[in-house]
Chains A and B, each alone.
Chain A
Amino acid sequence: KAGVTQTPRYLIKTRGQQVTLSCSPISGHRSVSWYQQTPGQGLQFLFEYFSETQRNKGNFPGRFSGRQFSNSRSEMNVSTLELGDSALYLCASSLGTGAGYTFGSGTRLTVV
Chain B
Amino acid sequence: AQRVTQPEKLLSVFKGAPVELKCNYSYSGSPELFWYVQYSRQRLQLLLRHISRESIKGFTADLNKGETSFHLKKPFAQEEDSAMYYCALSASFQGAQKLVFGQGTRLTINP
Contacts and interface: CB of A to CB of B under 8 A. Distances in A.
B44 interface: yes
Given A42-B104, A43-B86, A97-B32, A56 B46 contact: no
A24 interface: no
Contact of B96 (A35, A56, A92, A98): A56
Nearest to A31: B97
A110 interface: no
Contacts, number: 57
B43 A98 contact: no
Contacts of A56: 93, 96-98
B103 A94 contact: no
A63 B102 CA distance: 25
Nearest to B95: A55
A105 B42 CA distance: 7
Contact of A102 (B46, B93, B104): B46
Contacts of B34: 100-101
Given A98-B32, A100-B49, A103-B45, A35 B99 contact: yes
For the residues of B in contact with A, the DSSP-based class is strand
Interface string B46-66: 100101000000000000000
Nearest to B51: A98
A48 B92 contact: no
A103 B43 contact: yes
A45 B49 CA distance: 19
Contacts of A97: 32, 90, 92, 97
B44 A103 contact: yes
Nearest to A55: B96
| 7 residue pairs, one from A and one from B, having the closest CB atoms | A55-B96, A56-B96, A43-B101, A103-B44, A45-B98, A105-B43, A100-B46
7 contacts: A42-B103, A43-B101, A48-B97, A55-B96, A101-B46, A103-B44, A106-B43
Interface of B: 32, 34, 36, 43-46, 49, 51, 86, 88, 90, 92-93, 95-104
